[in-house]
Amino acid sequence: MPTNGVPTTLTQGSGTRGGIGESTLRPDGTLKVTGEFAYSSDMWHEDMLWGQILRSTVAHAEIVSIDTSEALATPGVYAVMTYDDLPADVRHYGLEIQDTPVLAHGKVRHHGEPVAIVAADHPETARRAAAKIRVEYRELPVITDEASALAPDAVLVHEHRDDHHIGHVPHPNVVHRQPIVRGDVASARERADVIVEGEYTFGMQDQAFLGPESGLAVPEEDGGVHLYIATQWLHSDLRQMAPVLGLPEDKVRMTLAGVGGAFGGREDLSMQIHACLLALRTGKPVKIVYNRFESFFGHVHRHPAKLFYEHGATADGKLTHIACRIVLDGGAYASASPAVVGNASSLGVGPYVVDDVDIEAIALYTNNPPCGAMRGFGAVQACFAYEAQMDKLAARLGMDPVELRQLNAMEQGALLPTGQPVDSPAPVAELLRRVKAMPMPPERQWESSEGADVRQLPGGLSNTTHGEGVVRGVGYAVGIKNVGFSEGFDDYSTARVRMEVVGGEPVATVHTAMAEVGQGGVTVHAQIARTELGVGRVTIHPADTRVGSAGSTSASRQTYVTGGAVKNACELVREKVLELGRRRFGPYHPAWATAELLLEGGKVVTDGGEVLADLVDVLGDEAVEVEEEWRHRPTEPFDLRTGQGNGHVQYSFAAHRAVVEVDTELGLVKVIELACAQDVGKALNPLSVIGQIQGGTTQGLGVAVMEEVLVDPKTAKVRNPSFTDYLIPTILDTPTIPVDVLELADDHAPYGLRGVGEAPTLSSTPAVLAAIRDATGLELDRTPVRPEHLTGTA
Amino acid sequence: MRLNVTVNGRPQEADDVWEGESLLYVLRERLGLPGSKNACEQGECGSCTVRLDGVPVCSCLVAAGQAEGREVVTVEGLADHAEQRSHAGGAHGTSLDEARQWQARGTDSQTGEGTRLSPVQQAFIDAGAVQCGFCTPGLLVAADEMLERNPNPSDADIREALSGNLCRCTGYEKIMDAVRLAAARQPEGV
């Protein structure tokens, strides 16, 4: 099968060790394995206080009264604050819509909403004092789903909306609505020989990063505050925090502390403002660390969704049309819901060619926990449903499910439902071919010389089967994810690069505000600097707000955009260094003026390989420094009625094959293998790329068979906020994950790279579901699948 | 209360410990050893795993008072612990020859370059088993303890031994690689 595109080649720096394309090791690896790496929850300061948040015990209620007197009188307590104590007129924040109160005002809209904050000299004192705050609630009816949100007498979750979406939504309990209409579904339906319909449910997933929300706020002498924080985007936090603190942005300093994972869950603010408020109020450093229980309330989750799909095809398997309606539950506050709607709708038909589409996606305001960003961001829910539909269609047509997908797979040049052409390689069919071609794990892999190894069987060490009732199934899925912020967002990054001689050696220093959350951006920045500047030693400056914004560590964008900014700044530094060299040494060798010059191995060389000078001599005592913003090509918003528009920057494609074994009597699933093929454009660091793919795949596995935040539909209260009750995959639940990496350059992107992190989270879930359907013959229209769904006892 | 506990071979004393504090809290907040991590504080994630008299435990579930008079090894002491084990059978402490050859190690304060590592720590770095790193300290203590008991583990053995340690970043594949690597790098006969 032919593929479009070619692998990337380098023109500069390919002779320098530790550059791009090598699996260099993490610069923070040693600190992380010795316990020395300072995570946000490890911060400590002389005379430091501990902050604690009091959260609502009900989901929807008027606050009748708050009595803090007993809490304030507790020995060791330094401050108690409620809404009335906020220092500025601005008292709400939000990523796009400022609808979230810093502390509840008159009303709480979801279970676990912050109501009051306490600072004390010991965390337990702070917890006990918070428990002594008396809040009287008058409960209101709860909005929990589309029916209750849009009912004629529905209570409005937000009474006085004035955001920019209110003008085009059908009801004030709808945050945002995005239709996408292309072609003519009604007449295409006439051409269809088969039509399959499905209604699918996607459960609420938690990011479950291991490092809890935490940070240390230190008051400063000028009346400002310095926050050491785990976040995904320092400058976005700053923009939301400063107005609420009543401070200009230059008096709120932000330094990135060690981040223990993120996956979207740190895109919104959590304890940032609360810690700063308490520090400014008490004049003392204040540390806040959530425990796991609080963490489940302290960040947004992945939107649960209801998805309604209709797929039509001709008898030979060509898609005629797709109609779908995606209802996302945004919970009590907007967070990233509008952008999630944009993704779910624009990527709603998947990586397939279909001319006639009718898509609608909406996000609701409800009294459920607020939902926002999580790895895959709207594309995950859609992929689960459209891939289930493709299998259903294949079964109806009597076709092989992989062949049906390949027959309809998009290629470079195809149009998305938004009318936007896919103008870079789109090897969808090839990825499916590759993942299908991987060797299969052996049948009865649980058999050993000593009989069945129960650890390899469903149920594991619970010893529930030795192979009886165990059936194997195989399933495939493929997905499409956008890379970067879409819909016209000014998605830039800033990098400052400095080059100078230190200790007799040329050294590059890279300073960005990029949040390293574990993805390995710091590794890649050093590699880019080595490649572009031909140096061996690179220092990565800690991320802070003394340099311009690097945008969010989200949307698979950091290597593309901040990596692009680092590359660009390095190129500018290189030009200046060569200029310096021409001034100093130009008269001595004509090649300075005539040849193409490169920096490699600490030297200036001609493209013919002749060494002209050592960088040490070129630089001398001078330091060359550049700080520049860098942008990818612009995007535009989707039309609010038709959804047309060039909204996306780039796409990322991955395909999975899942092999499962199911104990059909007990409904227990063991995923045996989860193979992935992904096009990454260019693997800047192959080891990290594979780590991203395996990690993303595993999060998709989690939401396929175990992960769901359970919310009581009667009370809208969270029922399982702990790792005892919300299960994420352990090493026993996770199979081997063979990865086949394809590198087809995207000519629009630095080095031809493609954002990597999210695509594997999309197709992993539907592949596992397809494999379970294959094993059991059941329809399975929801995820996660639990034993009761397989045994008919749900 | 006052707590006396030996941590990584050094006797430690902590005053004014509240009876409700966990061993994890005392290590992190009172003894300046934040390497043991606080991901769930309910014994589910294993990120706080330490050795208590040699046995791996979730230090969040150990009341500080239970550690009175006992020996604790944390991730900060893992390199020393591994080195002592490799010298096991001989005398403890520093030999005269070693003492004569001692010199200050230049360690890079930003990257930790030059730090002495145990084999399992080095293997985690080399195999790419570290992403955000929050689960890493607990996994290292657990993996090191398993290799002490079982120097030639099968994949199923590794998975069983590490099943109490959650990782959200890696999908565990590189962790499997790291433990296999550490096992393969052991000297013969260990």
Cβ-Cβ contacts under 8 Å between A and B: the total is 198
Chain B residues in contact with A723 (beta carbon < 8 A): 40, 42, 44-45, 166
pLDDT tens profile A535-579: 999 999 999 999 999 999 999 999 999 999 999 999 999 999 999
Burial label for A721, CB within 10 Å (0-12, 13-18, 19+), is buried
- Closest chain A CA to residue B79: A34
Give the whole-angstrom CA distance, residue A492 versus residue A28. 26
Give A-chain residues touching B79 at CB under 8 angstroms: 34
Q: Which of A539, A568, A562, A522 is nearest to A688 (CA)?
A: A522
Q: What is the pLDDT at residue A16?
A: 86
Phi, psi angle pair for A226, to nearest 5°: -115, 120
Cβ-defined contact of B111 to A30 (cutoff 8 Å): yes
- Tell me, what's the pLDDT at A726? 98
Query: Are A363 and A335 in contact, with CB atoms under 8 Å apart?
Result: no
d(CA A37, CA A152): 55
Burial class (CB in 10 A: 0-12, 13-18, 19+), A105: middle
Of A122, A456, A690, the CB nearest to B18: A122
**Spatial separation of the C-alpha atoms in residues A545 and A239, rounded to whole Å:** 11
Q: Residue A312, Cβ neighbours under 10 Å: how many?
A: 24
Does position A5 have pLDDT exceeding 70, yes or no? Answer: no
For residue A75, give how far its alpha carbon lies from the nearest alpha carbon of chain B (Å). 15
Three-state secondary structure of A588-647: HCCHHHHCCEEEECCEEEECCCCEEEEHHHHHCCCCEEEEEEECCCCCCCCCCCCCCCCC
Give the chain A residue whose CA is nearest to the CA of B160: A732
Residue with tokens 């995606």: A326
Whether residue A4 has pLDDT greater than 60: no
Residue matched to tokens 């300290």: B137
Q: Is B26 on the interface with A (CB under 8 A)?
A: no
**Contact in structure between A146 and A308 (CB atoms under 8 Å):** no
Taking CB atoms and an 8 Å cutoff, what residues of chain B touch A29? 124-125, 130
Who among A42, A212, A691 is closest to B39 (CB)? A212
Distance CA A451, CA A465 (A): 12
Q: Which whole number is the average pLDDT over A290-309?
A: 98
Cβ contact B126–A25 (<8 Å): yes
Please tell me if residue B160 touches chain A, with a CB cutoff of 8 Å: yes
Q: What is the pLDDT of residues A211-251, one digit of tens each?
A: 999 999 999 999 999 999 999 999 999 999 999 999 999 99
Look at the block and give the residue holding tokens 């430690």: B12
Residues counted in chain A: 794
Q: Which residues does A27 contact at the CB level (< 8 Å), separation at least 6?
A: A522, A523, A526, A540, B110, B111
Per-residue model confidence (pLDDT) at position B89: 55
Q: Shortest Cα distance from A729 to chain B (angstroms)?
A: 8
Looking only at Cα atoms, what is the longest distance across chain A?
86
Residue entry with tokens 């909204």: A647
Residues linked to residue A324 through DSSP beta bridges, in sequence order: A309, A359
Q: Measured between CB atoms, which of B21, B117, B132 is closest to A211?
A: B132
Q: Do A261 and B168 touch (CB under 8 A)?
A: yes
- Report pLDDT for A359: 98
Whether the Cβ atoms of residue A499 and residue A623 lie closer than 8 Å to each other: yes
Closest CA to A755 of A766, A746, A768: A746
At A3 the pLDDT is 42
Count Cα atoms within 13 angstroms, Cβ side, for A64.
7
A445: its two tokens = 């892999």
Structure tokens at A398: 């009597």
Identify the three-state secondary structure at position A377. Answer: coil
Q: Are A406 and A432 in contact (CB under 8 A)?
A: yes
List, in sequence order, every beta strand (DSSP E) within chain B.
3-7, 10-14, 49-52, 55-58, 71-73
Cα nearest neighbour of B80 on chain A = A34
Contact A475, A770 (CB under 8 A): yes
- Give the position of tokens 């199911």: A662
CB contacts, 8 Å: A260 with chain B: 37, 39, 132-134
Average pLDDT over residues A639-663: 98
Domains and CATH numbers, chain A: 29-37+492-630 (3.30.365.10), 40-140+212-259+266-298 (3.90.1170.50), 424-484+649-791 (3.30.365.10)
Q: How confident is the model at residue A1 (pLDDT cuts 50, 70, 90)?
A: very low
Q: Where are the alpha helices (DSSP H) in A417-501?
A: 428-437
Averaged pLDDT of chain A: 97
Q: Look at residue B190 and tell me whether its pLDDT is greater than 60.
A: no
- Max Cα–Cα distance, chain B, nearest Å: 48
Average pLDDT of chain B to the nearest whole number: 91
Per DSSP (E only), the strands in A296-405 are 301-302, 305-313, 319-329, 356-364, 371-372
Tokens representing A410 are 């998009």
Compute CA A324 distance to the chain's CA centroid, rounded to the nearest angstrom: 24
- A343-to-A11, A179, A363, A648, A702 alpha-carbon distances in Å: 36, 12, 12, 9, 22
In terms of Cα–Cα distance, which of A485, A490, A499, A489 is closest to A569?
A499
Residues of A with Cβ-Cβ distance to B110 under 8 angstroms? 27, 539-540
Note whether A34 contacts B168, CB cutoff 8 Å: no
Backbone angles phi, psi at B152, to 5 degrees: -125, 65
User: Residue B103: its pLDDT value, please?
Assistant: 62
Q: For the residues A731-749, what does the mean pLDDT come to?
A: 97
Reading the block at residue A591, the tokens are 């090649």
A341-368 burial, b if ≥16 CB within 10 A, otherwise e?
Answer: bbbbbbbbbbbbbbebbbbbbbbbbbbb
Q: Report the interhelical angle of A379-397 vs A337-346 (nearest 10°).
A: 20
> Which one, of A148, A112, A173, A141, lies nearest residue A370 by Cα?
A112
Alpha carbons A529 and A539: distance in angstroms, whole number:
10
What pLDDT shows up at residue A15? Answer: 78
Task: Look up the pTM and report it.
Answer: 0.96
pLDDT attached to residue A448: 87
Residue in chain B closest to A39 (alpha carbons) equals: B134
- Outline where A678-728 has alpha helix (H): 686-705
Which residue from A minimizes the CA distance to B140?
A33
Residues A460-466: contacts with CB within 8 Å, 24+ apart?
A460/A670, A460/A732, A461/B160, A464/A663, A464/A666, A464/A668, A465/A663, A465/A665, A465/A666, A465/A668
Structure tokens given for A189: 């339906």
pLDDT of residue A2: 37
Q: What is the pLDDT of residue A243?
A: 98
Residue (of A569, A558, A519, A559) closest to A753 by Cα position:
A559
Residue tagged 């806040």 (tokens): A288
Query: In this predicted structure, what is the pLDDT of residue B188?
Result: 61
Mark residue A183 as left, alpha or beta (left: phi above 0; alpha: psi -120 to 50; beta: remaining). Answer: left
Domain locations in chain B as residue ranges: 3-74
Amino acid B109: pLDDT: 57
Q: How many residues does chain B have?
A: 190
Which three-class secondary structure state does DSSP give residue A320?
A: strand
B173–A723 C-beta distance less than 8 A = no
Question: For residues A61 and A80, what is the distance between their CA atoms, to the nearest angstrom?
Answer: 22
**Judged by CB atoms within 8 Å, which residues 96-155 of B form the interface with A?**
110-113, 115, 117, 121-122, 124-126, 128, 130-137, 140
Nearest to A775 by CA among A763, A789, A760: A789
Local confidence band at B86 (pLDDT 50, 70, 90 cut-offs): confident
Instruction: Read off the pLDDT of each residue in B154-171 and give the average, rounded to a whole number.
Output: 97
Q: Report the residue from A124, A260, A455 with minimal CB separation from B132.
A: A260
Fold of B3-74: Ubiquitin-like (UB roll) (3.10.20)
User: Is the predicted pLDDT of residue B106 greater than 70, yes or no?
Assistant: no
Percent of chain A with pLDDT over 70: 98
* Beta-carbon separation of A33 and B133 below 8 A: yes
Query: Which is it for strands A319-329 and A305-313: parallel, antiparallel or unpaired?
Result: antiparallel
- Residue A125's contacts (CB-CB under 8 Å, 6 or more residues apart) are A50, A74, A75, A76, A77
